[in-house]
Structure 1
């Protein structure tokens, strides 16, 4: 007979208890589903994962590693749609809970493990993917700071970030690298194509941002190359876990990739990047 000891730590659950059934997950292609089954089988064979964790893998979760947690709990670092989360299983139970483990003072206690196992590798992979794709750069190549940003031509917050970045670019401290996407509308796709297909994309982007309130650049019918690139960028955006534009990425003073969601002021951008 199993006994449950009283815990001094608590779980703020994220809606998954006991049976681990997830209603209404996004539809996936057969290839994606087969790939997840293969991945879960490999992980299970190598790591002898509990059935509750492999059940999550079958439903689209990804496994990134395990860690020890307080009070006889085992933590499993997971992600779904590139959102990090942890599942916890007690040695006295066959069930799992997904959520945030907090101490009696209400402080999250396992966030650093989740950061190390899930978020940091995901952000590094995002940075590498952006380095390998076609971006439009503004600023000096020898700038001390590089920021990649997902930019939709019809996004007013992207335009706000473009404006707030001007002083740092003109100072020579920042190179802003735009990874163009056309996700807000078909018009976004056509305007992104117009920028990409211009003789000088950087100048076309600048002209567009300067005239943003008047509608910006005239849209064009995307070439096959532009359409394929923008489709790839939309995929990179999903894989990066970005839910909107602009989403920006930079390296902090320790060299780790960090993410900025939305537009920020010049002063805030200067502070985040530690630019004097």
Structure 2
């Protein structure tokens, strides 16, 4: 996931630095040339020794640009001080990655997910889930103490990628009269699950599956489960695959 891994340490709701979004007409000519190559200039920030910093976004990556004092040259890359501190990290996080994180979280909120746990749970965890995914079932089992205590609600964003009948099984869960119970029954049963794939998927349900798959592809997620959560600092984090026991508290919080 080369593009999406840059989203893993973003802070939701972080304020921009001192500069609002820049309009093209306000950009120096040298920076406009970079914009013409496909970069989206998000904002500017102070930099040392007469340089002017610009935060850009290119193919879901944050990119730091530095305009030289003469306004004729642009340096691309991270800038470090004498102590090895990355002076580009904070501006990029606040100007680029924080808004991207907020957007990703909002897209997951509006996706077709099945709730697992109390709607009043103080912590929400999203995961892209396939009914034939044994590691999704493993994470479901791992999360039981947190879900049953009311501390966490898992939101399963249903997709169908593992086997030929995966889309039909996801559709069956989404189309159920009680999707939460249907998912619970399926996961409890494990390999003995009686869940059957829908032979014909209603268009409304197919649209939901298509949107979930499009989101998974947009985020360049290679497999299920792909787990998303907010850490103690409010940073958006991702776990690919069922987590090791030592990571559960980071994802689900204290028991």
Q: Give the secondary structure class of the aligned counterpart of 1:45.
A: helix
1:100 aligns with 78
Equivalent residue in structure 2 for 1:51, among 11, 23, 32: 32
2:139 aligns with 161
For the structure 1 residues 264 and 232, does the alpha-carbon distance in structure 2 shift closer, same or farther, using more than 3 Å as the test? same
1:109 aligns with 87
Equivalent residue in structure 2 for 1:260, among 238, 244, 252: 238
Equivalent residue in structure 2 for 1:90, among 68, 86, 103: 68
* 8 A Cα contact 1:123 1:240, kept in partner: no
Q: CA deviation at 1:228?
A: 0.9
The whole-number CA distance in structure 1 between the counterparts of 2:232 and 2:75 is: 35
Q: Count residues in correspondence.
A: 232
The whole-number CA distance in structure 1 between the counterparts of 2:221 and 2:72 is: 34
Q: CA deviation at 1:196?
A: 1.0
Unaligned ranges ≥5, structure 2 = 1-21
**Counterpart check, 1:69 vs 2:47:** yes
Equivalent residue in structure 2 for 1:118, among 93, 96, 107: 96
The whole-number CA distance in structure 2 between the counterparts of 1:193 and 1:79 is: 36
Q: Give the secondary structure class of the aligned counterpart of 1:121.
A: helix
Once the two structures are superposed, residues 125-183 of structure 1 have per-residue CA deviations (whole angstroms, 9 ceiling, x without a partner) of 22223333332111112222111222233444433322221121122211111121234
Tell me which moved more, 195-204 or 241-250: 241-250
Q: CA deviation at 1:184?
A: 4.9
Once the two structures are superposed, residues 61-86 of structure 1 have per-residue CA deviations (whole angstroms, 9 ceiling, x without a partner) of 43322222334433332333423333
* 8 A Cα contact 2:126 2:229, kept in partner: yes
* 8 A Cα contact 1:180 1:230, kept in partner: yes
**Counterpart check, 1:228 vs 2:207:** yes
1:127 aligns with 105
The whole-number CA distance in structure 2 between the counterparts of 1:98 and 1:46 is: 20
Unaligned ranges ≥5, structure 1 = 1-41
* 8 A Cα contact 1:76 1:86, kept in partner: yes
Question: What CA RMSD, in Å, does the superposition of the two structures yield over aligned residues?
Answer: 3.2
1:270 aligns with 249
